[in-house]
Structure 1
C-alpha cells in the first residue's frame, strides 16, 4: 500500500534524449509548480529556450542512478512507464532505488498500440493521469481500468498551458510563413523490424515521401515534422531524402522543436498517419488528411478511430494526394472533429487548480 504524504515535494523526471516527452512533462511540472530533472544536456537547453522559465536540474548520472538528485523529493512525475512492481523505478536506461509515490501521465493521445501488451502496465503505476473518455475506454477494454490505484481525468492540460503562455510562444517563428497554405506532414515512427508488432502502426514516410515532396502545388508549403524515434531509427536514409529536395523552397523540415501547439497554430491542413499530433490538431477544427498505407477500415478498426475526422488516402491514391486535398470539402468532417476532440479530451478547458488539488488529494490518501 502506498504511503500517505502530508506535504507533496514532487519532481519531474525526463530521461535521456527523449525530446518527444518534453512537451508533455514540462507543462505538467509547471502546472504542479515543481522542478524537472533532465539527464541530457541538449534536452536541458532546449527546455530553457523553448518554454517559460522553470526550475531545471541536470544530472548526467554516469552510473545511470538518479538517487542522489531525487533524495529531497517524495513524489516523481513522468510520462513513460517507470514504476516497477517491487517499488523501484526504471526510467528507460536510468533507474532509482528510492521507494516513492509517483504520478504517470501519457505522452500523447493516439489510437496506436491497441493490439500489443502496453496499457496493461497501467496496473503497476500509482497515480495515473488520463486525458478523457477515449483513453479510459481503451484501458477498460484492456481490463486494466479498475486495477489502477488512483486515476485522474485531466482534460487537455497541454493546450490550456499553451493558451495561458501564448505571448511567450509567439516570440518564435518555427518555419517560414507567407501567403501559401501550410500543410503539416507529421508521420509517426516504426521499428526497423518489419515483423514487429509495431508494424501495425507503422510510419508512412518512406512509402509516401516521393509523392508528397516531388509535386507540391505552387500555392502550398509542406512542413515536415518527423517523429524523433523515426530520425533515430533511420537517420542516414532521412538525410538522403532531405538532400534530394534541399533546393525546394516549398518543403521545410522542422528540427527537434518540442512545443507542438505553437506550430499547429499556424498550420492550415494536417497530413499524417498514426501520430498523436493528429489528436492535438483537433483543437483547431481544421482539415485533416490521413495516409492509410495499410488500407485499414476507419468504421470497424478502433486503431484508426481518428481517420473518421478527415479524408483517408489509400496507397493507390498517393500520386493524386494534392488533388484530393484541394478537391475535398472538409466541412463534412467538422462534426466528427468536434466529437472526437470531446471524446479524447472533454469539452471544458483543463482546470490547473483543480488538477493540482486532485493530485495532492490522491497522494494524501
Structure 2
C-alpha cells in the first residue's frame, strides 16, 4: 500500500487544490462525502479516487496504513498528530495543502489566530513569508493548478461549456464572494442581490459564492440561486470545483476577500472589490461601493497592469511544474520540536 495519501474532508472546491498535488506526488485520494466523490469522478478522471465513511478513518487505521497525510484541513496536524503519538505511538507526517492564496491568513496572523502546521506546501514568496513562523517545514510548489489546467484544458473547457452558455456579444463578469470568518466578512449577504440587479442585463454574470455560504446563510444562498435562474445571462455556479476554466472566460473580476482574486492575477484583467478591508490583493484593483458598481465596472484599469504583474510574481513561482519533482524531502524527526525558518523546494 502507498504509505502517502491525500484525504479530502472539506468543501468540494478543495478537490481543485488536492488533485494536482496528488498527480504531482503520485498520491491516491480519499474523500468522505458522496457529493465530493461524484464531482471528483466527473471533473478529475485523471486521479485514483476512493470514497470512505469518515468513521472508517480511525486512529488505528491511519496509523497502520499511512506515514504521510496530505490534506487541506488546517487543524489536522494540530489535533491528530498528538493523538496518534499518544495512542498509537505513531509519528505521522502531515502536509498542509493550502486552498488558495487568501489574505485571510495574513489577517489571522495579525490577530494572533494562525494555526501551526507540520509541513506546509506554499505557492511562492508571499506565502513563504506568511507561514515561515507557523510551519516546521515549507515546500515551495508554485501554481500547480495552472499547469494542471493547461495540460487538461480541453477537458475542463468542455465541462464549462456544457454547463454554462455565455452570450458572445457580452463581456463576462465573475462575482466570487468569500464566506464570513473571524478574519474577514463577506459581501454576499449585503451585495449579491444588488450585483445581479445592476449587472445581470448588460453582461454575462457568473455568481460563484464560497460553498460554505450555503451552510452559513442557506436562505439567502437559495434565494440568490433562484434569482439567477430567472435571468438568461446570469449563472449561479455550484458544484463546479475547477477555477481556471471559469477565469479563462472572465473579463472582469468582482469579489471581496476570496483567494480567487489572486488566481485571476494570471490574466492581468480588471479587478474590483466590494470590501473596505485592505489586503495586498486590493492594490491590484479598485474598491467600489455597490451604488457606483454599474458606472465603474467598465474601467479598463490600464494603470494597474504593472501592479498586478508584480503581485502575481510574489505569489507564485514562475515555472513550478518543470522544477518540481515527485518526492517530498525526507522527514526530519528533530523538526517536530522546532520551527524551521528556511524554505525548501520540492526536489526529486
- TM-score normalised to the size of structure 2? 0.85
Q: Give the length in aligned residue pairs.
A: 324
Say if 1:11 and 1:37, in contact at 8 Å, map to a contact too: yes
Match of 1:276 in 2: 259
Say if 1:133 and 1:343, in contact at 8 Å, map to a contact too: yes
Shift of 1:158: 1.3
Shift of 1:176: 1.4
Structure 1 segments of 4 or more deviating over 4 A?
A: 95-98
Shift of 1:30: 1.2
Query: Residues 218 and 233 from structure 1, CA distance in 2 versus in 1: closer, same or farther, beyond 3 angstroms?
Result: closer
Match of 1:190 in 2: 180
Listed one character per residue, the Cα deviations across residues 303-351 of structure 1 (whole Å, up to 9, x for unaligned) are: x1101111211xxx3122021012x2311111011001001113x1213
Match of 1:312 in 2: 287
Match of 1:37 in 2: 30
Match of 2:123 in 1: 131
**Are residues 1:363 and 2:331 paired?**
yes
Paired residue for 1:28, among 21, 26, 31?
Answer: 21
Task: Give 3-state SS (helix, strand or coil) of 2:78's partner.
Answer: coil
Say if 1:157 and 1:352, in contact at 8 Å, map to a contact too: no
Task: Give 3-state SS (helix, strand or coil) of 1:363's partner.
Answer: coil
| Greater helix proportion | 2
**Are residues 1:151 and 2:151 paired?**
no
Query: Residues 244 and 165 from structure 1, CA distance in 2 versus in 1: closer, same or farther, beyond 3 angstroms?
Result: closer
Paired residue for 2:249, among 266, 285, 290?
Answer: 266
Shift of 1:73: 2.6
Shift of 1:281: 0.6
Say if 1:150 and 1:362, in contact at 8 Å, map to a contact too: no
Task: Give the stretch that moved more between structures: 242-251 or 149-158.
Answer: 242-251
Query: Residues 96 and 64 from structure 1, CA distance in 2 versus in 1: closer, same or farther, beyond 3 angstroms?
Result: farther
Q: Which runs of 5+ in 2 are unaligned?
A: 334-348
Query: Residues 215 and 269 from structure 1, CA distance in 2 versus in 1: closer, same or farther, beyond 3 angstroms?
Result: same
Task: Give 3-state SS (helix, strand or coil) of 1:362's partner.
Answer: coil
Task: Give 3-state SS (helix, strand or coil) of 2:55's partner.
Answer: coil
Task: Give 3-state SS (helix, strand or coil) of 1:77's partner.
Answer: strand
Match of 1:164 in 2: 151
Say if 1:59 and 1:69, in contact at 8 Å, map to a contact too: no
Query: Residues 243 and 280 from structure 1, CA distance in 2 versus in 1: closer, same or farther, beyond 3 angstroms?
Result: same
Query: Residues 152 and 237 from structure 1, CA distance in 2 versus in 1: closer, same or farther, beyond 3 angstroms?
Result: same
Task: Give the stretch that moved more between structures: 65-74 or 157-166.
Answer: 65-74
Alpha-carbon distance between aligned partners in 2 of 1:9 and 1:53, rounded to the nearest angstrom: 20
Shift of 1:363: 3.3
**Are residues 1:46 and 2:39 paired?**
yes
- TM-score normalised to the size of structure 1? 0.81
Counterparts of residues 224-303 of structure 1 (less than 5 Å): 224-292=207-275, 295-296=276-277, 298=278
Shift of 1:241: 3.1
Query: Residues 158 and 67 from structure 1, CA distance in 2 versus in 1: closer, same or farther, beyond 3 angstroms?
Result: farther
Match of 1:216 in 2: 199
**Are residues 1:106 and 2:98 paired?**
yes
Query: Residues 42 and 133 from structure 1, CA distance in 2 versus in 1: closer, same or farther, beyond 3 angstroms?
Result: same
Across the aligned residues of Structure 1 and Structure 2, the Cα RMSD in angstroms comes to 2.6
Shift of 1:248: 1.3
Task: Give 3-state SS (helix, strand or coil) of 2:232's partner.
Answer: coil
Alpha-carbon distance between aligned partners in 2 of 1:96 and 1:322, rounded to the nearest angstrom: 59
Task: Give 3-state SS (helix, strand or coil) of 1:215's partner.
Answer: helix
**Are residues 1:351 and 2:334 paired?**
no
Shift of 1:269: 0.7
Say if 2:12 and 2:35, in contact at 8 Å, map to a contact too: no
Task: Give 3-state SS (helix, strand or coil) of 2:205's partner.
Answer: strand
